[in-house]
């Protein structure tokens, strides 16, 4: 059975993105083991002369390295990902590179009608950056709109059509992960390039 790391892209105590990932963990338990990972306790990213990386970031990186894939749930603030998620991804590409060629499924929930669509688009760009080089599942968006009303008292999604859409995308992700396992011939070189990349160099 595949093991996935699910990153909660918010530091809110009542995040509907966390609720979405909790639902996915329960709902897909027969297909994959999903472990939720919080990033809210990571400090804001800051470069240092000795390239210090917090132990929590190293621990998360190890979980990602060991996982078959990653699911990220992002809210949308000011048409973009949260500051805490952006900062976490900076730590996870600063001297450590767990995302290289790692299959990633992007999801997102928002209170409005757009379901974090612009944040998801930005997140794709970040994950495709030279320091991260994740393998993002193409042509897929799970946009949970009006998320405050989306869950019942048991934490399950109410709308059967939304559940059906999520089911289909998750099955696609399982296939994407299996295909990705066969596409790692250049992983070592890609990781070396990610490690050598620096915005401080011309």
Q: What is the pLDDT of residues 46-79, one digit of tens each?
A: 999 889 999 999 999 999 999 999 999 998 878 8
The arithmetic mean of pLDDT across residues 75-101, rounded, is 92
Scan for tokens 């379901």, then name that residue: 115
Task: Tell me if 119 sits within 8 A of 76, measured CB to CB.
Answer: yes
pLDDT at 167 over 90: yes
Q: How many CB atoms lie within 10 A of CB 128?
A: 13
Can you read off the two tokens belonging to residue 154? Answer: 């048991």
3-state secondary structure at position 112 = coil
**Between 181 and 55, residue with greater pLDDT:** 55
pLDDT at 123 over 70: yes
Scan for tokens 């000011």, then name that residue: 78
CA 199/CA 202 separation, integer angstroms: 7
pLDDT at 145 over 60: yes
Which stretches does DSSP call E strand in the chain? 2-8, 32-38, 69-73, 103-109, 135-136, 142-144
pLDDT at 142 over 80: yes
Report pLDDT for 186.
65
CA 88/CA 40 separation, integer angstroms: 9
For the chain, which domains are there? 2-196 (3.40.50.360)
Report pLDDT for 202.
47
Q: Taking the CA atoms of the chain, what radius of gyration do you get in angstroms?
A: 16
pLDDT digits (tens, 9 = 90+) for 7-24: 999 998 899 999 999 999
Scan for tokens 């950056």, then name that residue: 129
């Amino acid at each position: 059975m595949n093991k996935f790391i699910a990153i909660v892209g918010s530091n809110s105590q009542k995040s509907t993105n966390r609720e979405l990932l909790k639902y996915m963990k329960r709902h897909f338990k027969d297909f994959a083991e999903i472990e939720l990972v919080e990033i809210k306790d990571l400090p804001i990213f800051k470069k240092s002369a000795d390239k210090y990386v917090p132990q929590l970031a190293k621990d998360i990186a190890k979980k990602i390295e060991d996982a078959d894939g990653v699911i990220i749930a992002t809210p949308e603030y000011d048409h973009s990902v949260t500051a805490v998620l952006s900062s976490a991804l900076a730590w996870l590409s600063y001297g450590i590179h767990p995302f290289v060629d790692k299959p990633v499924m992007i999801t997102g929930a928002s209170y409005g009608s757009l379901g974090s669509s612009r944040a998801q688009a930005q997140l794709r760009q970040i994950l495709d950056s030279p320091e991260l080089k994740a393998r993002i599942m193409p042509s897929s968006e799970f946009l949970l709109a009006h998320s405050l009303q989306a869950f019942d008292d048991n934490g399950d999604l109410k709308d059967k059509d939304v559940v059906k859409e999520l089911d289909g995308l998750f099955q696609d992700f399982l296939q994407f992960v299996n295909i990705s396992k066969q596409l790692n011939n250049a992983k070592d070189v890609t990781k070396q390039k990610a490690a050598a990349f620096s915005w401080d160099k011309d």
